[in-house]
Structure formats: structure tokens, C-alpha cells
Chain A
């Protein structure tokens, strides 16, 4: 019956964080809950993990109630964790790396590291251990259990402490959470960070992006307007669009080609479509609405007219370009 499902995506990572928090299992990466179930032959383990993960999402629950429930669950989890350790010892590091990578994308982690450096390192230090009693790299938090908790604290701050609220947009929050969750395995000083300034030069120069995309009221409207793209997309999806434009293109943005009964050819980028009509912006930047019944031919082109930058730009240049695109938050 569901028209939507409750957000469950980070259950597995929550389970892993629990394990880290407990320091029962020396597991550097997230634990896939289904593995726990399958290998340990104790299905309830996964259930408890999930319950722990969900604590962060409880509506209006008091800290006391949450902590009591957490204690109750932890008592039941401790023996299971030992089993998990055995499983992971058997699985080896390859499996761990694979599972970790699937939870937070590298692009989000890298983007998050930039935000962290810009927004957080002033107090927390680049290593995240500068505030007395708070070591962000350890994965142990006093006020945080779930990713939602983390987002909430970053957004709202902690009243009565030096931690202020931050006004970050969703990609920034996704990045900061991804980075904080992976800080321990991520050394800021050795990673090449994308440079938005160099990215901007690529956008205008080698990349030739401005020949199709519009930015802050300037440039053509043939391709999607990128003025707010940094607030709409994550680092990962932006990188995918650059490397595989066709694969990453939203179906709505596909080009259409129509031939009217009197032979007129109309091409453009689709803005909307229904059973009887299609709306597009044509190559002359006119808004056009067509009745399909009036057309002799109508085709939706599934390949993007944007070139792939996979081989046109180096990986450093791609990182720079993504950094620039992420900086595009619109004019407010």
C-alpha cells in the first residue's frame, strides 16, 4: 500500500557506527546488516541494529526514553557483535571496502571534506580533535547517533554550548555527514581537493560549458540552467553527469524532434509531456507546445547532446569542475 517508504538507507551504517561506538568489534567500516543476518544465523541481530538506527528518528522522544531503549537493545546486541567480528575476520578487507564505498560516495566525502575545512576546522581543527572532549574522527559522539542526529546538530547547533547552527543546503549536509562518518579513513592533507577557481576557468574555457548552459541570467538556454545546480545536485551526481551525460540525464531533459504535418522540423529540450501534447524549448529558445496529433513524426532522443568529459578532462580537472559547480547556489 505504501506510496513512499520510511527512510531506511542508513540503517547499515548506523549498525556499523554502533559497533564502533561499542568498541567491541574493531571494524573500520560499516557492517552490512544482511550479512550479519545471513552469516550469524541470528536474524534478530539485524532487527536490533535497525532499532538502534531508528532511535534517531523517533518523533519527540525524550533523551531519557531513547537512552533507556538504547541500553536495552545494547544488552541484547553485545553477544551478537562478537559473532559479527568473526564474520568480518572471515570476509577480509575487500568486502569491507566494498560495503563502505556503497554507503557514502567518494565525491560526497571529498566535497564534505571541503565544507569541513571551511566551516568546521576553525573550532574542531582539521583533524577534528581540537575541541576538548570531542573527537569527531573517533566516530563517538555524545549527542549524535544517527545521520539524522548529525544533520540536526549541524543545522540547529547545540544550545548552551559553543556549537552554533549552520545553514547548509542538502548537498553540503550530505557531504558533511559523509565526511564526518569517514574522517578516520580520510586524510585531508593528502587528498587533492578540487579548486573551484580552476573549475570556473575550465567551465568558461576548455570545458566550453557556457556555450550551452546558462548561469545567473547569462548564456544560452539550450541546456539546463546551472545557476543553482550546486544546491540541487550532490558532488557525486555532478561528476556522473560530466563523465556519462547520457546515463545521468534525467528523462525529462531529453531532446525531442518533431515534424509537423506541413514538414516543419522542430527540435528542442523537453520541458513537459503528456499523452496528447509535448512542451519544449526549441533551439531558438522559444517555448513551444505541440499537439502530438498534429505531428507527422515525433521522437525522443535518448542520447544527451552534451559531450562526455571523461577523456577530455583529467581527473584533477573534473574534480575542479565539480568543485565549481557545487559552488553555484543561485542568486538570492
Chain B
């Protein structure tokens, strides 16, 4: 698979042409993904994770003519959170728990199915789900809920290698799409509700051999270890459960980390608890930490900083700067310098009362919360893992937000036991006897209503943090966002609508009811001159294009 291509890479500077001849996805093609918008080569589309498509066939005037072209029905009742890859007309999709399906991206007809049967020991906190794949050469890579990493032949769906990343019985799981950087496959683990010790690991794409592991909770003798008391670090959590981004020029990969363990009782882990709720910038060749920025020190509210790191280059105070845009679960929108990790500014994008602001270094000025009082944002955060988008055309950053959404947090004692939940919380919603957003999927009836908060798509000016517009929904939203070069924004929500908005104004241009929660990000691709837009909803993947 990879070796012939790699040899070519090493020997010839024209490797790009040689590889693409065989439709292999070289690491060079991954770097140059923005130059082939007809494909969707990584979880977030490109290494900068902007979810911004340069395709322009569908535009503001004709978007109303979108029609359903095909549907793929997943053979599973689990939540369908997968973002597909599309490579030269072939779509690669995961369906829960850990199947890989290769389809014709034009028709939805299936070429092959790979089935991985996860160990019954797997105990992902929040659903037996998978969010997608990575590709290099002719190999697909899938991280599994039982914490395996699997390489699959993209041509026939046969297993190439299958390695154990961590012990599922101890609470480790993987639901993310891996990230390929050069010749390595990078993954992070979930398990922040089980007192795991989080990490990001890299594996040789040809063999599955581990190249490095970066623990997101530093051990004795490592910098940052002093932010933990005693042995608390051993169960310190900080899982990296969502795909990172990569800047090839800086040779840095960026990963968000989750809550410290246990989630809700800060008496059980005094200190800043590094590198929980942080972004870490790692050297992808060695796993060495280049810099970090912690959004929420000593977090009591499950404010995982597990969002997609969005990389954008723009003029900042008059000179070009490489930035990292981050709408955080803690309710603040941040802009960082991604070369150094320097905090440039931050501002709330939803109602926030756990902190009264950020100081000059970006550290929150925490407001102690009274027992029994609602804390904003609530446990699921002002936003969460749902992919945001940045459009270089509008210059705006878009995210799915939960507005006016609180939780009454109550920390209780808990003792760590391997493989058991370790959250130390007895949280409740603000409505006695009422439902609280964030639980498992509901049926078709929305019981949350206005009293529990609501969803929005928010457009933020990254220079000021100003909200340019907000598209308010009745229910909360767990959908990702796609923007296009024609100033379209596609997004869904819990209600099952898939909508197209004007990315400059937030005006609704088109909608379709797909009859099931949208808990994934839309993508766009092109085959034989036709632009397609797809999104997973309910149990199906729905694919739209313009009427012929």
C-alpha cells in the first residue's frame, strides 16, 4: 500500500503526481487538501479544520433547488456521529459501533463493509459511537470504542493491522477519527468519566508500532506535575477524545483535552490540574510538548476543551499572524497565537456566570457558585465537540452554541475504582421534575423547551468577539457546521432539520426535515462535476445535490 508511494516520495519530487495516479492519498495530498475541494480527505476537511469548502456550484440563489440524491441507512440503533471521507468518488464511512463502509459517493451503493466487533469490556461514557476515519496511501484508520486502532485496506476492506491502544476495562475508549500526519497515525483517548490518565499517541502507519505517547497528565518529574496533589494525577483524566489539527509550516499538531477526574468534586484534586481543559501543541514527529494553554484551571463543571482546533491566518493589529480560534465549552471564545500559544483575547459567546472574565493572560477570574444555584453554561457547555467553521471569505467564525443553558452542579465524594465511573457529581437541571438537555437521545417530542436553554448558530468576528448574527433554534443543537466559498452555511440540530443559511446574515435559505437528530458535521464534495452535500441524521446519511 504505502511503501511504493513512499519510495516514490523519497526518490522523486514529483511524488504528488505519481501517488495520485493510483488515487493513493499521500501525506503531501493531505497537506494540499484545500487544492482538491472535490474530496474530503480528513475528518475536518483539511489540516486547518475550518470545514470550509471551496466548491461553488451550490450558491445563495440556487440552494433552494437542493434535492435528496441518496440515503445510506446505518445498520445500527446507536447515535450516528460519523463524518465520511471522500476520495476520488469513493466515500468511506463508519457506522456504529465500528464498521467501515465503502460506497459510491454518487449513488450510495456499497462496495464493501469491514466489521470490527468491540470487546464487551468497552464502556464509552456517552454512547457506542464513532466519528470517522483517517486515510494514508491505500490504508484507512479507525479508532474503536474498545480502544483499538485498526488499519484497513481501502480497496477491499481487509484488516491490515489491529493494535491495542489502551485497556477498555479501565475505562479507555476511542470515538474520534484519527489524524494522519506524515507517516504517523495520531489518536487520543476518551475516558474522562472513568478516571483514566489521558494521552495522545502516534503509531507508524505501516506497522501500527507506537512512535510516541504524550500523557496529558504529567507524571512525577515532568513539568506541570506540581499542579496535582499527591497521587491525584494517576486518575487525572484530561482525555483527548476529538481529532486534532495540524500546521505543516510550524510542524505542530494541536489537541484539545478534557475534564480532570473526577469531574465535579474539586476538593478531590486541588490545583490547576494540567493539562486538563487545555490545548496542547505537540511536535508530531516526537510528541514533545511545544506549548500549552489551559482554558479552565481546576475545572468543576466538566468544561472539556475538546473542540476542533480551528487554524486561521489573518491580519492581526495590522500584521499577518497565525491564529488558533477556539469557541470553548466554558462559554468563552478565544483567539491564541498558534506559534507561541500566547493568549490574544477572549470573550463570552453565551451567558456565563462561573467566571466574571479573563485576565490579561487569559486565565478565568472565577466566581464561586452558591450551592444549589444554576451555573451558566451548564454541563454540556456553551458549545461542545460539534465542529465549528471558519470562512476566510466572510472572515467569520461559526459555532453551535447552547444559550441560556444552566446546570445545578453538586460535587460529592467518590473513590476511584478501575473501570467504574468516577465523576463525583450529583448534578441536576434547573426545572424540578423536568428534563435537562444533554441526556440520551429522545423520541420525536421535544421536552426541553425554552426553560432549559436553546440552541443557536452564532457568527463571531474573530477580531472582536462580536456576534454578527445568531440563528436561534427551539431545541439545543449538537450539529457541526460547514461553510462554502459561496457564503452558504449548512448545519442541523436535535430537531432533525438540515438547514442552509446565508453565512453573512444568518438568513434561512433552505431546510429539509431528516427525521432524526443531527449529531455530526456536514461535508461537501464533488463527483463528475456535481457538488454534493451530506450529513448524518438519525440512522441515515443523507446526500443532497442540485436538481438536474
Contact A12 B440 (CB under 8 A): no
Distance between Cα atoms of A233 and B432 in the complex (Å): 12
Contact A3 B125 (CB under 8 A): yes
Contact A47 B414 (CB under 8 A): yes
Q: Which of A46, A251, A273 contacts B452 (CB 8 A)?
A: A251
Q: Which residues of A contact B467 (CB under 8 A)?
A: none
For the complex, is B271 an interface residue (Cβ under 8 Å from A)?
A: no
For the complex, is A118 an interface residue (Cβ under 8 Å from B)?
A: no
Contact B433 A248 (CB under 8 A): yes
Contact A5 B450 (CB under 8 A): no
Contact B423 A49 (CB under 8 A): no
Distance between Cα atoms of A11 and B412 in the complex (Å): 8
Contact B450 A251 (CB under 8 A): yes
Q: A12-B412, A272-B445, A275-B475 are in contact. Are A250 and B431 (CB under 8 A)?
A: yes
B226 CB to closest chain A CB (Å) equals 19
Contact A273 B449 (CB under 8 A): yes
Distance between Cα atoms of A54 and B421 in the complex (Å): 10
Q: A6-B423, A54-B415, A250-B433 are in contact. Are A276 and B239 (CB under 8 A)?
A: no
Contact B426 A8 (CB under 8 A): yes
For the complex, is A2 an interface residue (Cβ under 8 Å from B)?
A: yes
Q: Which residues of B contact A48 (CB under 8 A)?
A: 415
Q: Which residues of B contact A318 (CB under 8 A)?
A: none
Contact A273 B446 (CB under 8 A): yes
For the complex, is A271 an interface residue (Cβ under 8 Å from B)?
A: yes
For the complex, is B401 an interface residue (Cβ under 8 Å from A)?
A: no
Distance between Cα atoms of A101 and B102 in the complex (Å): 59
Distance between Cα atoms of A33 and B192 in the complex (Å): 24
Q: Which residues of B contact A233 (CB under 8 A)?
A: 433
Contact A9 B426 (CB under 8 A): yes
Q: A250-B447, A274-B497 are in contact. Are A3 and B438 (CB under 8 A)?
A: yes
For the complex, is A37 an interface residue (Cβ under 8 Å from B)?
A: yes
Q: Which residues of B contact A43 (CB under 8 A)?
A: 267-268, 413
For the complex, is B199 an interface residue (Cβ under 8 Å from A)?
A: no
Q: Which residues of B contact A50 (CB under 8 A)?
A: 412-415, 424
For the complex, is B493 an interface residue (Cβ under 8 Å from A)?
A: yes
Considering only residues 121-171 of chain B, those with a C-beta below 8 Å from chain A are 125-127
Tally of contact residues, B, Cβ under 8 A:
56
Contact B495 A274 (CB under 8 A): yes
Q: Which of B258, B415, B425, B451 contacts A251 (CB 8 A)?
A: B451
Q: Which residues of A contact B440 (CB under 8 A)?
A: 3-4
Contact B431 A276 (CB under 8 A): no
Q: Which residues of B contact A237 (CB under 8 A)?
A: 432-433
Q: Which residues of B contact A51 (CB under 8 A)?
A: 415, 417
Interface string of A33-66 (1 = CB under 8 A from B): 1100100000100111111001000100000000
Considering only residues 77-113 of chain A, those with a C-beta below 8 Å from chain B are none
For the complex, is A240 an interface residue (Cβ under 8 Å from B)?
A: yes
**Which residue of the partner chain B has the closest CB to A11?**
B412
Considering only residues 414-448 of chain B, those with a C-beta below 8 Å from chain A are 414-415, 417, 420-421, 423-427, 431-434, 438-440, 444-448
For the complex, is A254 an interface residue (Cβ under 8 Å from B)?
A: yes
For the complex, is B474 an interface residue (Cβ under 8 Å from A)?
A: yes
Q: Which residues of A contact B474 (CB under 8 A)?
A: 273-275
A308 CB to closest chain B CB (Å) equals 16
Contact B413 A5 (CB under 8 A): no
Contact A11 B413 (CB under 8 A): yes
Q: Which of A2, A3, A12, A276 has the most CB of B within 10 A?
A: A2
Q: A1-B241, A2-B263 are in contact. Are A271 and B445 (CB under 8 A)?
A: yes
For the complex, is A22 an interface residue (Cβ under 8 Å from B)?
A: no
A52 CB to closest chain B CB (Å) equals 9
For the complex, is A163 an interface residue (Cβ under 8 Å from B)?
A: no
Q: Which of A4, A11, A252, A273 contacts B439 (CB 8 A)?
A: A4
Interface string of A253-289 (1 = CB under 8 A from B): 0100000000000000011111110000000000000
Interface string of A1-28 (1 = CB under 8 A from B): 1111110110110000000000000000
Distance between Cα atoms of A300 and B438 in the complex (Å): 23
Contact B433 A2 (CB under 8 A): no
Distance between Cα atoms of A138 and B302 in the complex (Å): 40
Q: Which residues of A contact B420 (CB under 8 A)?
A: 6, 54, 58
A131 CB to closest chain B CB (Å) equals 34
Distance between Cα atoms of A272 and B439 in the complex (Å): 18
Q: A43-B268, A48-B415 are in contact. Are A1 and B190 (CB under 8 A)?
A: yes
For the complex, is B379 an interface residue (Cβ under 8 Å from A)?
A: yes
Contact A2 B193 (CB under 8 A): yes
Distance between Cα atoms of A274 and B513 in the complex (Å): 11
A331 CB to closest chain B CB (Å) equals 23
Considering only residues 226-283 of chain B, those with a C-beta below 8 Å from chain A are 239, 241, 258-259, 263-264, 267-268
Q: Which of B421, B472, B473, B475 contacts A5 (CB 8 A)?
A: B421
Considering only residues 441-474 of chain B, those with a C-beta below 8 Å from chain A are 444-452, 472-474
Contact B239 A1 (CB under 8 A): yes
Q: Which residues of A contact B450 (CB under 8 A)?
A: 251, 300
Q: A8-B425, A276-B497 are in contact. Are A33 and B193 (CB under 8 A)?
A: no
Q: Which residues of A contact B444 (CB under 8 A)?
A: 272
B153 CB to closest chain A CB (Å) equals 32
Q: A4-B440, A11-B412, A54-B420 are in contact. Are A240 and B432 (CB under 8 A)?
A: yes
Q: Which residues of A contact B306 (CB under 8 A)?
A: 1
Q: Which residues of A contact B487 (CB under 8 A)?
A: none
**Which residue of the partner chain B has the closest CB to A32?**
B412
Contact A276 B192 (CB under 8 A): no
Q: Which residues of A contact B526 (CB under 8 A)?
A: none
Distance between Cα atoms of A258 and B267 in the complex (Å): 50
Contact A8 B439 (CB under 8 A): no
B262 CB to closest chain A CB (Å) equals 10
Q: Which residues of B contact A1 (CB under 8 A)?
A: 125-126, 190, 192-193, 239, 241, 258-259, 302, 304, 306
Distance between Cα atoms of A248 and B445 in the complex (Å): 20
Contact A252 B239 (CB under 8 A): no
Q: Which residues of B contact A273 (CB under 8 A)?
A: 446, 449, 474
Contact B475 A3 (CB under 8 A): no
Contact A54 B417 (CB under 8 A): yes
Distance between Cα atoms of A276 and B445 in the complex (Å): 14
Q: A47-B415, A252-B449, A275-B474 are in contact. Are A8 and B190 (CB under 8 A)?
A: no
Distance between Cα atoms of A79 and B429 in the complex (Å): 37
Contact A2 B493 (CB under 8 A): no
Q: Which residues of A contact B342 (CB under 8 A)?
A: none
Q: Which residues of A contact B106 (CB under 8 A)?
A: none
Considering only residues 208-260 of chain A, those with a C-beta below 8 Å from chain B are 233, 237, 240, 247-248, 250-252, 254
Distance between Cα atoms of A48 and B415 in the complex (Å): 7
Contact B267 A2 (CB under 8 A): no
Q: Which residues of B contact A46 (CB under 8 A)?
A: 412-413
Q: Which residues of B contact A270 (CB under 8 A)?
A: 449
B432 CB to closest chain A CB (Å) equals 7
Q: Which of B415, B426, B495 contacts A275 (CB 8 A)?
A: B495
For the complex, is B322 an interface residue (Cβ under 8 Å from A)?
A: no
Closest 3 CB pairs of A and B: A46-B413, A251-B449, A3-B126
Since A47-B414, A250-B433, A251-B450 are in contact, a sample of 19 more A-B pairs with Cβ atoms closer than 8 Å, ordered by chain A residue number, is A2-B193, A2-B263, A2-B379, A2-B423, A3-B127, A4-B439, A5-B264, A5-B423, A8-B414, A8-B425, A11-B413, A33-B412, A43-B413, A54-B415, A54-B417, A251-B431, A271-B445, A274-B474, A274-B475
- 14 pairs, CB–CB < 8 Å, chain A vs chain B: A3-B125, A6-B421, A33-B412, A43-B268, A50-B414, A237-B432, A240-B432, A251-B449, A251-B450, A254-B449, A271-B445, A274-B475, A274-B497, A275-B474
User: Which B positions have Cβ atoms within 8 angstroms of A?
Assistant: 125-127, 190, 192-193, 239, 241, 258-259, 263-264, 267-268, 302, 304, 306, 379-380, 411-415, 417, 420-421, 423-427, 431-434, 438-440, 444-452, 472-475, 493, 495, 497, 511
